[in-house]
């Protein structure tokens, strides 16, 4: 009976050793444990096909969201006001960022409620950019798809803003 108890103790001890070895991948102290956890990063503008460029000091940026799509530079600026949101859109071409003034542009906006709106975006020659007005004022996140056609070529971008 003694040998049975001794065998059970040895077997139990070996099991604990293996269990401890399997869990040795855990950090030794709580500081390492906290450092190894990462918070999920929220995406503000999911853009699967375009490259988002960072605005650098001295570049053509106007403080908006920028997308470089092929040879085109797209910049979206949403400026909330009391009676809606002004949508300014800058469409430029090439390394010199020459303004494209003859594009056909619409904004497809998803409101925070999920409702869809189509906003015409017209070129303003005096301001050298395209402009539209969204009359909704509900708080929340607005998702915007800018649909542009330049001489038969599609140049689109996805943006968002919060009110």
For 66, the token pair is 């920028």
Is residue 49 packed enough to be buried (19+ CB in 10 Å), middle (13-18) or exposed (0-12)?
exposed
For 2-44, the pLDDT digits (tens) are: 555 555 556 555 654 544 555 444 444 444 444 434 333 333 3
- pLDDT of 5: 58
Q: Is the pLDDT of residue 143 over 80?
A: yes
DSSP-derived letter for residue 94 is T
Domains of the chain: 51-162 (2.60.40.3340)
pTM (2 d.p.): 0.63
Degrees, nearest 5: CA angle 75-126-149: 45
CA atoms of 97 and 152, how far apart (whole Å): 20
């Amino acid at each position: 009976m003694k040998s049975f108890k001794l065998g059970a103790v040895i077997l139990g001890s070996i099991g604990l050793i293996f269990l401890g070895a399997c869990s040795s991948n855990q950090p030794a102290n709580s500081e390492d444990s906290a450092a190894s956890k990462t918070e999920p990063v929220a995406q503000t503008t999911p853009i699967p096909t375009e490259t988002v460029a960072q605005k650098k000091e001295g570049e053509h940026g106007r403080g908006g969201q920028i997308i470089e799509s092929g040879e085109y530079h797209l910049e979206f600026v949403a400026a909330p006001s009391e009676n809606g949101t002004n949508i300014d859109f800058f469409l430029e071409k090439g390394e010199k960022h020459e303004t494209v003034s003859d594009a056909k542009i619409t904004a497809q906006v998803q409101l925070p409620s999920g409702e869809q709106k189509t906003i015409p975006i017209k070129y303003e020659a005096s301001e050298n950019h395209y402009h539209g007005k969204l009359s909704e004022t509900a708080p929340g996140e607005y998702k915007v798809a800018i649909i542009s056609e330049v001489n038969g070529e599609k140049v689109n971008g996805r943006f968002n803003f919060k009110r």
